[in-house]
Amino acid sequence: MARIGQAEANAFLLRDLLEGVAGRVLIAGAGTGQMFPYLPADFLAACQVTCSDVNPVFLARLRERFACQTVVDDIEDSRLLPGFAAIAVVLVLEHVDWRRALDSLVRLQPEQLVLIVQRNPADVAAAVTPGRLPPGTMRVFAGEAPPHLIPVPELVELLNARGFTLLREDARAVQDGKSMRGLVFTREPQSLPR
């Protein structure tokens, strides 16, 4: 990710999309945190940040890059307590059952969902650029469970049905004509009983 500019692009998007958030923040499926060296040292300093992943080894590496609480948790079946101001997911939905993952995160009742997904040029259907060899553990995952691009209209439709509205979006270009697309969804206020 870092080699082709994705980690840096994701960091800038995350910084901009989470600006002004206060309270509990979850970065779900954070992996080793390749984007964190590109973020300012005071990134989310006023927040209580938790980073989750299914791999405790990844979380140990992440703690070397970013001061935060870490927890082993499955994005597709989260066991965390609800009540986050924001939940951010960066390029993880491409590697999991994204509908199940979003349903799991919606149950945590965040005020905002910040999602960063990959957008390809029209002539590139695969998530990994043909001819490009993914690094390290990503190569293993790509072979066993190839990543898939997220159909953004379906993602928006699913979250609308779960009570979230697309508030804003942004994009950052990376190599191979791709871009990282950041989407901020906000939870619609609950209807007050009459």
Query: pTM value?
Result: 0.86
DSSP string, 66-107: S--EEEE--TTS--SPS--SEEEEES-GGGS-HHHHHHHHHT
Q: What is the pLDDT of residue 128?
A: 54
| CATH code for the part of the protein at 6-187 | 3.40.50.150
Instruction: Name the amino acid, one letter, at 158.
Output: L
Q: What is the pLDDT of residue 30?
A: 96
Q: How does pLDDT run across 50-60, given as a tens digit for each residue? A: 999 999 999 99
Q: What is the pLDDT of residue 105?
A: 97
Provide the CB-side half-sphere exposure for 39 (13 A, CA). 22
* Averaged pLDDT in 10-residue chunks for the chain of 194 residues: 75 95 97 93 93 96 93 97 97 94 97 95 59 51 72 97 97 90 92 44
Q: What is the pLDDT of residue 93?
A: 94
Q: How does pLDDT run across 99-136, given as a tens digit for each residue? A: 999 999 999 999 999 999 999 877 655 555 545 555 55
Q: What is the pLDDT of residue 145?
A: 67
| Token pair in block for residue 98 | 């994204």
- d(CA 6, CA 179) in angstroms, rounded, equals 8
Query: Coil, strand, or helix at residue 169?
Result: strand
